[in-house]
């Protein structure tokens, strides 16, 4: 698998920028992931501690070098205030397919940050990485995240029954996908 290169200059538009996480981000990642909505719709532990944030951030470099995932902080383009996380992950190089995942801290929501980050990452995935399909898999009950996928241009393909296991519970998910010509 090819090593994923951190975009330089960073992926950005006039509202958000995407940059690598550092250990300086532990405080706000911890605070954000303590919001009940984030573990409700992800595998993030329900009781999130600073050690969890350190471990998660610490794994990013190895995943990037292994060609598995590129996880970046979503920050305000002007000033760099933290908003959330977005990643191209679960890359299957044999099929030139990857998934975009995202979460936004409570203080960063309803500003279009996740949609903008997803579009920036999709353009990077198609252009620089050479992916030919990008998926977004969302719990059936996560209407906000479904809205992000749709606003990012993804096409709803269907419901995957009992698709995702998190916190000991199986979840139905909606599969969205985006092809290079659809961005």
Mean pLDDT of the chain: 96
Residue 118 has pLDDT above 80, yes or no: yes
Residues 108-126: what's their mean pLDDT?
Answer: 97
Q: How confident is the model at residue 183 (pLDDT cuts 50, 70, 90)?
A: confident
Chain centroid to CA 160: how far? 19
CA–CA gap between residue 181 and residue 183 (Å, rounded): 6
Residue 1 has pLDDT above 80, yes or no: no
CA–CA gap between residue 20 and residue 175 (Å, rounded): 27
Q: How confident is the model at residue 85 (pLDDT cuts 50, 70, 90)?
A: very high
CA–CA gap between residue 146 and residue 135 (Å, rounded): 12
User: Is 25 strand, coil or helix?
Assistant: helix
Residues 78-92: what's their mean pLDDT?
Answer: 97
pLDDT at 81: 98
Burial annotation 77-88 (CB, 10 A radius, 16+ → b, else e): eeeeebbbbbbb
Residues with Cβ < 8 Å from 168, sequence gap 6 or more? Answer: none
CA–CA gap between residue 61 and residue 129 (Å, rounded): 17
User: Is 28 strand, coil or helix?
Assistant: helix
Residues 84-103: what's their mean pLDDT?
Answer: 98
pLDDT at 159: 98
Q: Report the DSSP pairing between strands 82-92 and 97-104.
A: antiparallel
Can you give the pTM of this predicted structure? 0.96
Residues 148-166: what's their mean pLDDT?
Answer: 97
Cβ count near 17 (within 10 Å): 23
pLDDT at 76: 98
CA–CA gap between residue 10 and residue 179 (Å, rounded): 23
């Amino acid at each position: 698998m090819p090593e994923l290169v951190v975009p330089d200059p960073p992926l950005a538009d006039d509202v958000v920028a995407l940059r690598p996480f550092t250990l300086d981000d532990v405080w706000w990642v911890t605070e954000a992931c303590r919001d009940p909505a984030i573990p409700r719709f992800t595998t993030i532990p329900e009781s999130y501690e600073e050690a969890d944030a350190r471990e998660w951030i610490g794994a990013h470099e190895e995943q990037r070098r292994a060609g598995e995932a590129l996880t970046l902080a979503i920050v305000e383009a002007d000033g760099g205030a933290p908003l959330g996380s977005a990643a191209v992950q679960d890359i299957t190089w044999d099929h030139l397919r990857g998934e975009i995942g995202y979460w936004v801290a409570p203080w960063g929501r309803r500003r279009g940050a996740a949609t903008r980050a997803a579009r920036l990452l999709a353009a990077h995935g198609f252009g620089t990485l050479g992916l030919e399909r990008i998926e977004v898999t969302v719990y059936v009950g996560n209407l906000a995240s479904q809205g992000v996928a749709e606003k990012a241009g993804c096409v709803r393909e269907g419901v995957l029954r009992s698709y995702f296991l998190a916190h000991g519970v199986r979840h139905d998910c909606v599969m969205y996908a985006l092809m290079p010509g659809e961005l």
